[in-house]
Structure 1
Amino acid sequence: MDSLFVNMVKDVHFPSTLVLWILMWLSRYIHIVSSEVSTKQVFFVADGDEKVFLPSPPLTQRGTQYQWLRTPHDGNQSPSSVTINENSPNLFSQGGEHDLTMEPLSSLAGVFLFTQTQPNVLPLARFEVFAVEFTPLRLLLDLGSDVSMSCKLPHMPEAATLQWEAEDNLSSNTTLFYNNTAYVIIHSVDQQNKKRYDCVVRLNGTRVFGAGFLLDIEAYTFKTQVTLFRESSNSSEVDLSCRSKSEYLRAKWTRTSSSQPTEVVMTSSKRTSSDGLQRDRFSSPAFSGVDYPMRISPLIFEDGGEYRCIFDRPESIYSSERVLSSERVLVKLITIQVSVALSGGEDGDQPVVLTCELSELSDVPVTLAWLRREGSGVLMIRQEVLTDSRLLSVTLPSLHTDQLFWECVVFSQGLLRARVPLNLTDSYDKIPTPVTPRRNAANSFHLWMIVACSVLLFTGILTVALLFYYRKARNRETASRPVLNIVASPSLTDQDDPVYGNVTNNPPDKDSHRSPTEGENNMDIHYSCISLSGLKPREQNRNSETSGDGDGVIYSAVSIN
C-alpha cells in the first residue's frame, strides 16, 4: 500500500488523485486508531450460581475469522486460545455469534481479548475478569453464635478498595482488611441481625461490584454447640442465648473449666417465681418459660470455660416428683487477653514483650497472629497455629513511636474469629521513660558527618565568592583612577633656550621621578607644561628652580582642567 501512496504522490497535480490519496490516508489512520480498544472490567462471584458472560463487539465488514484469547492473572502463562467444544462439557461456551460464556471459577479469571485474525489481525474487544471469593457461600446460623465472613479479590485492580457494608454501620472492631481479603464478624447473632451484608468493590470511590448474604438465623436453640472468642477487659461483655420452642418450668446456667471441672450453677430461675440465683457479673432475667439468656459483664480472663443452659420441667403437670431435663445449648467461651511486659533494662529502649493468650484451646485448629498498623493497612509480624501452647509473644528490641498500634487476631478455618487491639500509648504507665524514636550510634555518626561536610562545603563556597568579589572591586577602583601619559619633549640642543614639555593624563615615566645622582648635578632644568583633566583650569605662577650649581632656568606652566 505504501508503493501505491508513492505513485499517487507523483500524480498529485491531478486534483482527483490528490483527493483519493487523502481519503485513503484517513482510512488508514482511522484503522490504526480503532485497533486500540479500551478495557472493560467484569467482576463475578467465584463458585456462584451465575455464569460469566462476555459479549462480542460489532464485527468488521472485512473480517472472516475471529478468536478469543485469554491471559491468566498470575502472569505465568502467555496468551492462549479459548477452546470451545459444543459436543462435550467445557469451561467455555459460545452464544450468539461470538459471545463467550464461562463457568464462575476463580482459576479462569484474567484478561480476555477478542480479535479478528483474517484477513489481518485486529483487536476488537478487551475484558479484564476478576473473581471475588466468598467464605462461606451460604449461611444458616445458630442463634447466639458468631458469624464470620470473608471476601477476597486475589488480583486487586489499581485504586480499588474491598470492604463489607450493611444497612447499619459496622464497627471497626468487627472488620479487618488484610492480604486482599475483607473480614467481618457479627457477634451473638439473633433475629435483629437478620439483614443483608454485602462485600463491595469500589474503583476511585465508585461502586462497581457488590454481592453478599441475607443472614438466615435459627429462631431456637436445641442441643446446639457454639464457640465464642471474646476479649477480656473492663469494658467487654458477652451475651449467651438460650431459647426453647416449648415451655419449661425451670432454667439454669452452669459452668465448668479446665481449672474447675466441677459444675457450678451461675444463674437459675423458675417461671412461677421472680426470685433466682444471681452471681456477681453474671445476670439473667426472670425465666419466661422459653427464653433464658445470660450476660457476663465485665468479662475477665478467668471466665473462660464451658457454659450449659438447661431447662427442667415435671414429667406430668400434676406431679413434680420426676423432672425431665433438656440441654438447650452448650457454649464454649474462650477469653483473650493481651499484655505488655518489660524484658529488663533501665531506660526507655529496653526490650518490650507483647503477649496474646487464650483461656482455652478450641476443638478446631486456631491460629494466633500479631498485626501492626502501618498507615491504613496492617503488617503481619508473627503468626502461629496453636497446638499445646495457648499464647503467642512478640519481643520488640525497643519501642518506637511507629510501633504503638498493634492487634492480636484469632483465625480459625480461614476466617477471622476475634481481634483485640492494643494501643501502647495507653500503656505508658508500664514503661518507665517516654517512648521516643531511637537513633543508633551509626546513624548519629553518619548524620554528624553529613552536617560537618555540608558546613565545610558552604564555608569554601562563601570564601571563594568573597575573594572573587574583592578582586573585582579592586579592578574597578584601579580603572577609575586618572592615568598620566608623558609626551616626550623635544631634545634639548641649546641650554639657553626654554624647553616645553606637554604632560597629559598618561602616567609619567618612572625615570622622571628618580632622584638625581652625583653626576647629574649640573643638568639644566627643562620647561614643562602639565595639564590634568578633571579639574577646572587655573593658571599657575611660573616658578624658578635651580638644580645644584647649574646656570639654566626652566619655566613651567601648570594648567589644571
Structure 2
Amino acid sequence: MGKGCRSVRATHCCVLLWTLLTLHWVSAEVMRRSIYFISGEAGVVTLPGPNLTNGAEFSYEWTPHDGRQKTIQIGTIQMSSSYSLWTFTANSYSQDSHFNISFRKVFDNAGVYSFKQTKPASVLLAQIETFAVKISPSSWHIVSLGADVPRSCAISRLPESVTLQWEKEGDPTPNTTFFYKNTASIVIHNAGQHCIGKYFCKVRGEREKLLFNNSRELSVAQDTYSSYYSLYRGSTNSSDVELACRFTGGYRGATWFWTPVSTKTQEKVASAGINQTAEVRKADGDGGRFSSPGFDGKDFPLRISPVQFGDAGSIHLLF
C-alpha cells in the first residue's frame, strides 16, 4: 500500500513538471517582429503568422499607435480538421495565406498586432509592431531656384532607443533641421545647385543600427523665369537672405523692385546693366545692408544682411 502511494505521488510530480516545462516552451516561442512601411504607397503590408496549427480558435488584435483607441479585435479564426473559418470584424483587413493577414499602407493602420490562440487555452503566439513613415510632400517636384524648401518625415511611434533623422547623400543635411512630435523636418534655404541630390529619411536604433531608410530626389529649376516663392527669416543680427535671379535670355540690364508691407509703395532697390557695377539702394539707416555683385547677363543676385523686421514685403525683378 505504501509503495502504491509513493508511485502515485511520483507520477503526479512528473505530470506537473512536464506541464510547467511545456508552458515555458510555448511562451518562449512567441514570434516578435517590427515592420516599417511608407504611408500612401501602393500595395499592402502583410503580417506573417506563425506556422503553429494546434488549437481550435485564434484571434488577431490591434493596438493603434495613435492612442485614441484601445486594443481592438480585428478577426477570429476557427479551426477544424477539414477547414478554417475566418471572420473579420474590421473592414480594412484580409486573409493573405495560412495565418497571414494584409492591410493597406495607411498611416492610421500602424500599431501593435497580436496573434493569439484562444481555445483550448489563451496563448500569445505572435506580436508584430508596424511603424508607418510619412514623407511630406510625398512627391518632390522641381523647386524654384532660390526658394526655401520645407520637407518633413513623420513616424507613427518613436521608441526611446530609436532616432529619426534626415541625411543628404554625400553631405551633411543643409540648413535648418528640427524635431517635433515624432516628426523630423528640414528647411533648405535658398535652393541652388548645392542642394540637388538625394535626401534620406532614416530610422536608427541602438548603436546607430539602420532600421529603415527611404529617399527622395531634390531637383532645382535652372532659372527663375515666372517663379514665385516665399522666404521666412528672423530679424536678428545674424539673419540674412539672398534673392536669386537667373535667366538665359539676352537682356542688357535688370532691376530689383521692393514693395514693403508697411507702405505698399514700390521702390527700386538695385539695378545694373550687363557686366556693370550694380546701383544699390542706400537709404538712411540701411548701413549697406543691401548688396549685389552686379548683372552678368544671366545672374543678378541681391543680398540683404542683416534682415530687419521692416524688410517684409514682396520683391520682384524686371529685365
- The TM tier, using the shorter chain, reads 0.7 to 0.9
**SS class of match (2:296):** coil
Alignment of 1:503-518 (within 5 A): none
Pairwise CA distance, 1:126 = 0.6
Tell me the residue number matched to 2:285: none
Q: Does the aligned pair in 2 maintain the 1:83–1:92 contact within 8 Å? A: no
Alignment of 1:100-249 (within 5 A): 100-140=101-141, 141-167=143-169, 168-170=171-173, 174-205=176-207, 206-249=209-252
Is residue 293 of structure 2 the alignment partner of residue 285 of structure 1? yes
CA RMSD across the alignment:
3.3
Matched residues in 2 for 1:212 and 1:8: separation? 71
**SS class of match (2:21):** helix
Alignment of 1:374-453 (within 5 A): none
Tell me the residue number matched to 1:399: none
Is residue 67 of structure 2 the alignment partner of residue 71 of structure 1? no
**SS class of match (1:232):** coil
Larger Rg: 1
Residue among 39, 45, 55 paired with 2:38: 45
**For residues 275 and 32 of structure 1, do their structure 2 counterparts lie closer, same or farther at Cα, with a shift above 3 Å needed?**
closer
Could you say which structure has the greater relative contact order, defined with CA pairs below 8 angstroms and 6 or more residues apart? 2
What is the one-letter code of the residue matched to 1:269? A
Matched residues in 2 for 1:98 and 1:42: separation? 17
Matched residues in 2 for 1:82 and 1:158: separation? 31
Encode CA deviations 1:258-299: one digit per residue, 9 max, x unaligned: 33433222222223x424423433233342333322222333
Stretches of structure 1 lacking an aligned partner (at least 5 in a row): 1-5, 13-17, 312-561
Matched residues in 1 for 2:56 and 2:76: separation? 19
Encode CA deviations 1:473-497: one digit per residue, 9 max, x unaligned: xxxxxxxxxxxxxxxxxxxxxxxxx
Matched residues in 1 for 2:144 and 2:183: separation? 25
Percent identity over paired residues: 34
**For residues 225 and 83 of structure 1, do their structure 2 counterparts lie closer, same or farther at Cα, with a shift above 3 Å needed?**
farther
Pairwise CA distance, 1:212 = 4.0
Q: TM-score, normalised by structure 2?
A: 0.78
**For residues 236 and 119 of structure 1, do their structure 2 counterparts lie closer, same or farther at Cα, with a shift above 3 Å needed?**
same
Encode CA deviations 1:464-522: one digit per residue, 9 max, x unaligned: xxxxxxxxxxxxxxxxxxxxxxxxxxxxxxxxxxxxxxxxxxxxxxxxxxxxxxxxxxx
Q: Does the aligned pair in 1 maintain the 2:110–2:156 contact within 8 Å? A: no
**For residues 298 and 77 of structure 1, do their structure 2 counterparts lie closer, same or farther at Cα, with a shift above 3 Å needed?**
closer
Tell me the residue number matched to 1:54: 47
Encode CA deviations 1:221-252: one digit per residue, 9 max, x unaligned: 22222111112333332111122243323212
Q: Does the aligned pair in 2 maintain the 1:162–1:200 contact within 8 Å? A: yes
Matched residues in 1 for 2:55 and 2:6: separation? 27
Matched residues in 1 for 2:305 and 2:7: separation? 92
Matched residues in 2 for 1:259 and 1:115: separation? 66
Matched residues in 2 for 1:215 and 1:50: separation? 25
**SS class of match (1:230):** coil
**SS class of match (1:227):** coil
What is the one-letter code of the residue matched to 1:224? S
**For residues 50 and 285 of structure 1, do their structure 2 counterparts lie closer, same or farther at Cα, with a shift above 3 Å needed?**
farther
Pairwise CA distance, 1:11 = 7.5
**SS class of match (1:229):** coil
Is residue 297 of structure 2 the alignment partner of residue 304 of structure 1? no
Pairwise CA distance, 1:165 = 2.4
Matched residues in 2 for 1:240 and 1:8: separation? 95
Matched residues in 2 for 1:198 and 1:129: separation? 20
What is the one-letter code of the residue matched to 1:41? S
Tell me the residue number matched to 2:284: none
Q: Does the aligned pair in 2 maintain the 1:70–1:82 contact within 8 Å? A: no
Tell me the residue number matched to 2:21: 29
What is the one-letter code of the residue matched to 1:42? I
Matched residues in 2 for 1:45 and 1:187: separation? 26
Tell me the residue number matched to 2:259: 256
Matched residues in 2 for 1:104 and 1:55: separation? 16
Matched residues in 2 for 1:71 and 1:164: separation? 28
What is the one-letter code of the residue matched to 2:176? T
Encode CA deviations 1:415-467: one digit per residue, 9 max, x unaligned: xxxxxxxxxxxxxxxxxxxxxxxxxxxxxxxxxxxxxxxxxxxxxxxxxxxxx
Matched residues in 1 for 2:238 and 2:224: separation? 28
Q: Does the aligned pair in 2 maintain the 1:8–1:21 contact within 8 Å? A: no
Alignment of 1:295-374 (within 5 A): 295-311=303-319
Matched residues in 1 for 2:280 and 2:37: separation? 52
Specify which structure has the higher proportion of helix. 1
Q: Does the aligned pair in 1 maintain the 2:37–2:131 contact within 8 Å? A: yes
Count residues with an aligned counterpart. 295
Encode CA deviations 1:124-152: one digit per residue, 9 max, x unaligned: 21111222233222222222111112223
Q: Does the aligned pair in 1 maintain the 2:62–2:72 contact within 8 Å? A: yes
